[in-house]
C-alpha cells in the first residue's frame, strides 16, 4: 500500500488513526500491530508469514539472551545469522544460482536451473531491524523479560515497515512504554506527512517520466547535455522520492506517538561522498557503520585496515540494495571515492570549500548517482562516456523536458538546499509564520491531491530494495 495512494489516504489512515485514538491505552499496541500486519498483507499477501518468521526469530533470540547468562555472544550471532538467512534466500538466491548456472555452463554439461524466488516488499528493512533488535539487546539487556508484542510492533510498525527509516531497537522500545499521543504531536505529524506527500507527488513523480525516458535511451544517442541531465535530474527525483517517503513515515509515526529518526539532512550540501553518506539515508549508513564497520575494527587498527573495512562495509551495502553486479558496483563506487578522499586528506590537509563543492557536484555525485540508477556496468560507462564525448547526431535535452517537468526540476534542485530550513529557523516561532506555513502546506497538499501524478503514483524507488 503506497502512502500517496487514495486507499491509504482516505480509508486506511483515517480508520486506523481514529480507532487507535478511541481505544483504551492497554489495547492500542495490539491494534497497531494488527493494522501493521493488515497493511503488509494488502501488498504482499501470504509473504506476511516471512515477516512473522523474522519476528519470531528475533524475539526467541532476545528471550534466550535474557534468560541464558552464558554463551550470549553465540546466541546473538546465531539469531542474527538466521534472520539474515531469510534475506539471503529471498533476495540473493536467484542471483547466486544464476551465476552458478552460468559458471557450470562454461566448464561442464551439468545444468543448474536458477531459482525464481519472489522478492517480498520491505524484506531488507525489516530484516535489518530484526538484527538491530538482537544486537542491541545483546549489548544492553533489559531488566525485564521482553514482550512479544513489543518486538513484533518494533519490526512490523507500518510507517517505516517497507522503506525505513531503519529504527534502532533501543530507541523504539522505550517509546512504547511512555508513548505520548497528543494534539501537538498529531499536528506535527500531519505537517511532516503533507510536506513529504507534496515532495513525492509534485516533484518526484513529475520527474520520473523524464528520468525513465533518458535511461531508456541507447547511450550512443545521448548528447553531452542529456548525459549530464541524466545525473542531476535523477538525483533530484530520487532525493524527493525517498526523502518524501521518509517525511511521510516520520509524520505518520508521530501521529501515533512514536519518534523515528531523520533520514536526510540536505545531502546536496555535501562536500564529499563520505560526507554525503552522513546526510543521505542516514539510518542505513549508520547501521552499516555501527554493526559492520566498527565491529570489524573501524579505523582503530591502522589506515590500511580502515580502508579494508570501508570496502567490506560498502560492498555489503551494495548487496543490501540488490543481488546483481550493478549493485556490487554501486558499493565499489562509494568505497573507491571514500578511499581516495581519505588518502587525499592525509596527503593534503589543506581544505578549500569551493573546490570541495566543485569536486562533489561535478565528479563524485554524477559517478555515484549513475551507479544507483543503471542496471549494468556497461551502460554506466556508456553514460559516463556520453558526458564528455560530443555527439552531433544526439538527442537534445530540450526534447526531453516539458514545461512541468522542467519547473519540477528547478524547484526541486533549489529546495534540495536548506532554504526552507533556514526560513523556518529564523521565523518559525512567529504565529504569523505558522499560519502562513499551514496555509502553504494545505495548498501544496491540495495541489498534490489534484495532480494527475497522484492517482497513478509511482511506487517509491526504495520499495525495490
What does the alpha-carbon distance between residue 200 and residue 352 come to, in Å, rounded to a whole number? Answer: 35
Give pLDDT, residue 106: 74
Under a CB-based contact definition with an 8 Å cutoff, are residues 249 and 260 in contact?
Answer: yes
Rg (CA), the chain: 23
- Whether residue 113 has a cis bond before it, omega within 30° of 0: no
Mark residue 283 as left, alpha or beta (left: phi above 0; alpha: psi -120 to 50; beta: remaining): alpha
| Three cell numbers written together for 407 | 519547473
**pLDDT value for 294:** 92
For position 100, what pLDDT does the model report? 83
Sign of the Cα torsion 125, 67, 147, 57 reads positive
Residue closest to 447 by CA, chosen among 389, 404, 417, 383? 404
Write phi, then psi, for 76 (nearest 5 degrees). -65, -40
Catalytic amino acids? 321
HEC profile of 131-161? HHHHHHHHHCCCCCCCCHHHHHHHHHCHHHC
* Local confidence pLDDT in tens for the 465 residues of the chain: 788 888 888 899 999 999 998 988 889 999 999 999 999 999 888 999 999 999 999 999 999 999 888 889 999 999 999 999 999 988 888 888 888 888 877 777 777 777 888 888 888 899 999 999 999 999 988 778 899 999 999 999 999 988 879 999 988 988 888 776 778 888 899 999 999 999 999 999 999 888 988 888 888 888 888 888 888 999 999 999 999 999 999 999 999 999 999 999 999 999 999 999 999 999 999 999 999 999 999 888 888 999 999 999 999 999 888 878 888 898 999 999 999 998 888 887 777 788 888 888 888 888 888 888 888 888 899 988 888 888 776 677 777 888 888 899 999 999 988 888 888 888 878 888 888 888 988 898 888 888 766 555 556 666 665
The model's pTM is: 0.90
The answer to whether 154 and 169 have CB atoms below 8 angstroms apart is yes
Three-state SS for 182? coil
Residue 459 is predicted with a pLDDT of 64
Q: What is the pLDDT of residue 280?
A: 92
Q: Which of 178, 177, 172, 71 is nearest to 130 (CA)?
A: 172
Amino acid at each position: 500500500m503506497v502512502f500517496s495512494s487514495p486507499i491509504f489516504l482516505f480509508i486506511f489512515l483515517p480508520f486506523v488513526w481514529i480507532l487507535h485514538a478511541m481505544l483504551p491505552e492497554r489495547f492500542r499496541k495490539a491494534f497497531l500491530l494488527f493494522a501493521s500486519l493488515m497493511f503488509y498483507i494488502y501488498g504482499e499477501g501470504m509473504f506476511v508469514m516471512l515477516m512473522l518468521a523474522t519476528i519470531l526469530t528475533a524475539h526467541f533470540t532476545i528471550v534466550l539472551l535474557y534468560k541464558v547468562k552464558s554463551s550470549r555472544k553465540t546466541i546473538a550471532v546465531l539469531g542474527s545469522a538466521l534472520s539474515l538467512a531469510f534475506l539471503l534466500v529471498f533476495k540473493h538466491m536467484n542471483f547466486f544460482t544464476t551465476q552458478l548456472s552460468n559458471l557450470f555452463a562454461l566448464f561442464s554439461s551439468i545444468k543448474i536451473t536458477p531459482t525464481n524466488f519472489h522478492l517480498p516488499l520491505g524484506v531488507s528493512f525489516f530484516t535489518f531491524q530484526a538484527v538491530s533488535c538482537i544486537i542491541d539487546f545483546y549489548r544492553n539487556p533489559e531488566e525485564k523479560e521482553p514482550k512479544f508484542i513489543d518486538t513484533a510492533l518494533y519490526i512490523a510498525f507500518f510507517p517505516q515497515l517497507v522503506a525505513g527509516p531503519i529504527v534502532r531497537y533501543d530507541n523504539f522500545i522505550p517509546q512504547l512504554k511512555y508513548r505520548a499521543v497528543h494534539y501537538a504531536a498529531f499536528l506535527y505529524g500531519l505537517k511532516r506527512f503533507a510536506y513529504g506527500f507534496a515532495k513525492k507527488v509534485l516533484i518526484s513523480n513529475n520527474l520520473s517520466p523524464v528520468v525513465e525516458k533518458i535511461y531508456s535511451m541507447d547511450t550512443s544517442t545521448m548528447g553531452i547535455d542529456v548525459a549530464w541531465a541524466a545525473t542531476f535530474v535523477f538525483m533530484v527525483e530520487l532525493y524527493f522520492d525517498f526523502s518524501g517517503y521518509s517525511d511521510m513515515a516520520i509524520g505518520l509515526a508521530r501521529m501515533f506517538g512514536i519518534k523515528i529518526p531523520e533520514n536526510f539532512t540536505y545531502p546536496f550540501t555535501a562536500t564529499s561522498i563520505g560526507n554525503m553518506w552522513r546526510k543521505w539515508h542516514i539510518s542505513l549508513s549508520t547501521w552499516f557503520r555501527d554493526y559492520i564497520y566498527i565491529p570489524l575494527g573501524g579505523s582503530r587498527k591502522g589506515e590500511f585496515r580502515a580502508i579494508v573495512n570501508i570496502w567490506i562495509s560498502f560492498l555489503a551495502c551494495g548487496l543490501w540494495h540488490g543481488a546483481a553486479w550493478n549493485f556490487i558496483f554501486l558499493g565499489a563506487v562509494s568505497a573507491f571515492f571514500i578511499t581516495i578522499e581519505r588518502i587525499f586528506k592525509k596527503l593534503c590537509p589543506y581544505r578549500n570549500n569551493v573546490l570541495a563543492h566543485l569536486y562533489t557536484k561535478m565528479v563524485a555525485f554524477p559517478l555515484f548517482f549513475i551507479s544507483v540508477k543503471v542496471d549494468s556496468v556497461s551502460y554506466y560507462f556508456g553514460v559516463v562516456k556520453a558526458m564528455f564525448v560530443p555527439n552531433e547526431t544526439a538527442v537534445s535535452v530540450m526534447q526531453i523536458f516539458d514545461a512541468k517537468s522542467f519547473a519540477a526540476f528547478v524547484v526541486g534542485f533549489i529546495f534540495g538546499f536548506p532554504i526552507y530550513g533556514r526560513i523556518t529557523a529564523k521565523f518559525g516561532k512567529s504565529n504569523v509564520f505558522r499560519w502562513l506555513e499551514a496555509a502553504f502546506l494545505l495548498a501544496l497538499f491540495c495541489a498534490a491531491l489534484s495532480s494527475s501524478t497522484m492517482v497513478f503514483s509511482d511506487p517509491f524507488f526504495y520499495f525495490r530494495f
